[in-house]
Amino acid sequence: MQRAPEYWRNQRIYLQLIGSKCKDCGKVYFPPRQYCSNCGSRNLEEYKLPEKGKLLAWTIVRSPSREFEEYAPYVLGYIELDDGTRIIAQITDVELNELKSGMRLRAVIRKGFVEEDSGIIRYIYKFVPEE
């Protein structure tokens, strides 16, 4: 079981899309890291990722892990945010036949899953088509 501070730290990172940026080479990581694998620096700062971007590619998940079973099948997208950072996230509120590479997306907070032990509802970010 996760300790409470770690839980809230993770919530903050995932709900606000907070990554880290290397002050030496400018490389951005999400989730955040302490160490830049691009240039070897440990000089990283917190970095707020843009909440909009475009869809590069996607896959349909039909057999997810147990926590996400109720959402299956769902779409997992490879997304390029407006600053060029690429992340993987669930895409929701879209029909499969509406998916197009290059389509605009924006981040939203949605119910993720309920923890089995504690019954705590976990919220996660997902992406929806930008209107």
Distance of closest approach, residue 30 Cβ to Zn ion, in angstroms: 15
CB contact at 8 A, 103 and 118: no
Report the residue number, 32 or 129, with the smaller CB distance to Zn ion. 32
62 by DSSP, 3-state: which? Answer: coil
Cα separation of 54 and 37, whole Å? 25
Report the residue number, 39 or 114, with the smaller CB distance to Zn ion. 39
Q: Which residues bind Zn ion (CB under 5 A)?
A: 22, 24-25, 27, 36, 38-39, 41
Cα separation of 17 and 9, whole Å? 12
Residues 6+ apart with CB under 8 A from 104: 52, 53, 54, 129, 130
Report the residue number, 27 or 110, with the smaller CB distance to Zn ion. 27
Report the residue number, 18 or 61, with the smaller CB distance to Zn ion. 18
